[in-house]
Amino acid sequence: MKELIDDLSILDGAEGCETYQTSKDSNTGKSRKLYIESYGCQMNFSDSEIVASVLQNDGFDTTSDINEADVVFLNTCSIREKAEQTVRNRLNHINGFKKKKPELLVGVLGCMAERLKTKLLEEEKIVDLVAGPDAYRDLPKLIAQVDEGDKAINTFLSREETYADINPVRLNSNGVTAFVSIMRGCDNMCSFCVVPFTRGRERSRDPHSIVAEAKALFDQGYREVTLLGQNVDSYKWSEEENNKARLEKSSVSEVINFANLLERVARIHPDLRIRFSTSHPKDITDEVLFTMAKYENICKNIHLPMQSGNSRVLDLMNRGYSREWYIAKAKRVREILGEDCGISSDMIAGFCTETEEEHQETLSMMREIVYDYAYMFFYSERPGTLAAKKYKDDITEEVKKRRLEEIIALQNEHSTFRNERMVGKVQRVLAEGFSRRSDEFLQGRNTDNKVVVFPKENFKKGQYVNVLIERSTRGTLIGKAVE
């Protein structure tokens, strides 16, 4: 059965950034066609669905073929230099294509647009339009500006925009899983991170609109939603403070936190599975953990970015916790949710001034916690961040890469071990579609976010299937359906 395994490699971000292309063609007879590529995080993928919705209402269909496009947007990531270089290379390729089709409008959206602003238009002259993450409502006007022969830009960061009233167009959807954005921005100011400067301050979306969107997705046949935010744990909303509704005199302005929101979405239907991303360790509360334990349909998987295993480096990173505190938090997660609860992480090798001994502390903390999988990078200095202003990037690339390789090698061992623990157990799997290797097999994920492959038999996409795990690889569980 080796040829049927969908083996997923451990995610090494140093090799580049994830790419997502629209593959949904909408042909409703509208006058123009939009093609979008998204780079980086899930929030960018979700934002592209908002962009498609805004422009659908302005006379655009979407296309998966760039040759058919009238407008091409790249929704970009600035988290690492490699991510930006990937986008620049793609823009150069598209501009070669534009020489043959000069009327093609090319725009950059998202974090890279917000960071570089007018530089993309004035100095590099490689795009026609630049729009930051909070400017997507303005896209019809910006496109009209370009149509009239001008360049167009809007990189204004809002303290209120959540796009709560926009119904996203589900791009590249499998019809089973979907993203639901619950908040935008970040207030944490980690010293290595550009997100607060490209995404702005935190603001939470109206919970009523979140629940309504999740319920509508369930009614349409979706069976899993992922609640998205730069830091979902710090979600906080009230009618009064967020000025979303006029209260009756007798009304009490209830403050809704992330645990409350999780419970509201979980109550929509037992067959609607809920995931969330991303968490900050300092904000994960026991209330959230106990809510997860209370509802079977809230998946038992938490992304708990570590970044470093050394307290001094964590302090330089402005993470807000120590090594000892983090280890206690990870143990608390598995204490409340069980040893099978999946914990994933982010790790940065070679941060400013990191010594060899401090690197070894990252490895020892990995051995202490044993993550299911991880996103692993070597440090990439980002202009404008606190680290770039305060610290010297003094670790050579050779040392960074060697330390990263050691982190990856250890994580490979741990991912294999965590998957092997599942052999002989029955897992409830939501079938998301065919295996990548064969249409005779389906694949889906269990509650702790592990990919499971099993014979199709008479099962269909969107069904829950009990699968007995017979064997595993580093990235995949393989089994058969049981009663």
Domain of residue 353, CATH code = 3.80.30.20
Q: What is the CATH number of the domain that holds 438?
A: 2.40.50.140
Residue where a domain terminates, one of 89, 122, 154: 154
Residues 79 and 200 in one domain: no
Residues 311 and 394 in one domain: yes
Nearest CA-CA partner of 385 in 78, 161, 123? 78
Region 287-314: what's the mean pLDDT?
A: 97
Share of the chain above pLDDT 70, in %: 91
Region 157-180: what's the mean pLDDT?
A: 92
Q: Coil, helix or strand for 295?
A: coil
Q: What is the CATH number of the domain that holds 139?
A: 3.40.50.2300
| 37-51, 118-132, 166-180, 436-450: range with lowest mean pLDDT | 118-132
Residues 190 and 222 in one domain: yes
Task: Say if 465 falls within a structural domain.
Answer: yes
Sign of the CA dihedral with 289 first, then 290, 293, and 295 last: negative
Residues 261 and 379 in one domain: yes
Task: Say if 166 falls within a structural domain.
Answer: no
Query: What is the residue range of 447's domain?
Result: 426-481
| 3-17, 137-151, 277-291: range with lowest mean pLDDT | 3-17
User: Does the pLDDT value for residue 266 go beyond 90?
Assistant: yes
Region 390-413: what's the mean pLDDT?
A: 98
Q: What is the pLDDT of residues 174-230, one digit of tens each?
A: 999 999 999 999 999 999 999 999 999 999 999 999 999 999 999 999 999 999 999
Residues 400 and 477 in one domain: no
Task: Say if 453 falls within a structural domain.
Answer: yes
Residues 355 and 432 in one domain: no
User: What confidence tier does 29 reach under pLDDT thresholds 50, 70, 90?
Assistant: low
Share of the chain above pLDDT 90, in %: 81
Residues 312 and 458 in one domain: no
Task: Say if 448 falls within a structural domain.
Answer: yes
CA distance 151 to 131: 11
Residues across the chain? 483
Nearest CA-CA partner of 3 in 431, 444, 419, 438? 438
Number of structural domains, the chain? Answer: 3
- Report residue 370 as tokens: 């044993």
pTM: 0.90
Helix axes 286-294, 323-337, angle to 10 degrees: 20
| 147-156, 167-176, 401-410, 444-453: range with lowest mean pLDDT | 167-176
CA distance 191 to 424: 44
Residues 395 and 263 in one domain: yes
Q: Which residue has the higher pLDDT, 434 or 246?
A: 434
Token pair 């909070």: residue: 134
Task: Say if 291 falls within a structural domain.
Answer: yes
| 24-38, 124-138, 383-397: range with lowest mean pLDDT | 24-38
- Report residue 203 as tokens: 């603001």
Task: Say if 4 falls within a structural domain.
Answer: no
User: Does the pLDDT value for residue 97 go beyond 70?
Assistant: yes
CA atoms within 13 A on the CB side of 474: 14
Token pair 């595993």: residue: 472
Q: 25 and 64 in contact (C-beta within 8 Å)?
A: yes
User: Does the pLDDT value for residue 12 go beyond 60?
Assistant: no
Nearest CA-CA partner of 467 in 448, 444, 449? 444
The predicted structure's pLDDT at residue 393: 97
CA distance 113 to 28: 30
The predicted structure's pLDDT at residue 243: 54
Residues 48 and 143 in one domain: yes
Residues 210 and 318 in one domain: yes
User: Does the pLDDT value for residue 386 go beyond 50?
Assistant: yes
The Cβ of residue 397 has, within 10 Å, a number of other Cβ atoms equal to 11
What distances in angstroms separate CA 395 from CA 22, 269, 398, one per listed residue? 39, 51, 8
Residues 397 and 457 in one domain: no
Strand partners, 76: 110
Residues 6+ apart with CB under 8 A from 177: 222, 223, 224, 225, 226, 430, 432
User: What confidence tier does 239 reach under pLDDT thresholds 50, 70, 90?
Assistant: confident
Q: What is the pLDDT of residues 441-450, one digit of tens each?
A: 999 999 999 9
Q: 473 and 5 in contact (C-beta within 8 Å)?
A: yes
Q: 213 and 190 in contact (C-beta within 8 Å)?
A: no
CA distance 443 to 477: 10
The predicted structure's pLDDT at residue 124: 64
Q: What is the pLDDT of residues 57-91, one digit of tens each?
A: 999 999 999 999 999 999 999 888 888 899 999 99
Q: What is the mean pLDDT of the chain?
A: 90
Task: Say if 162 falls within a structural domain.
Answer: no
Give φ, ψ of 86 to 5 degrees. Answer: -60, -45
Nearest CA-CA partner of 201 in 215, 223, 216, 184? 184
Residues 103 and 214 in one domain: no
Task: Say if 246 falls within a structural domain.
Answer: no
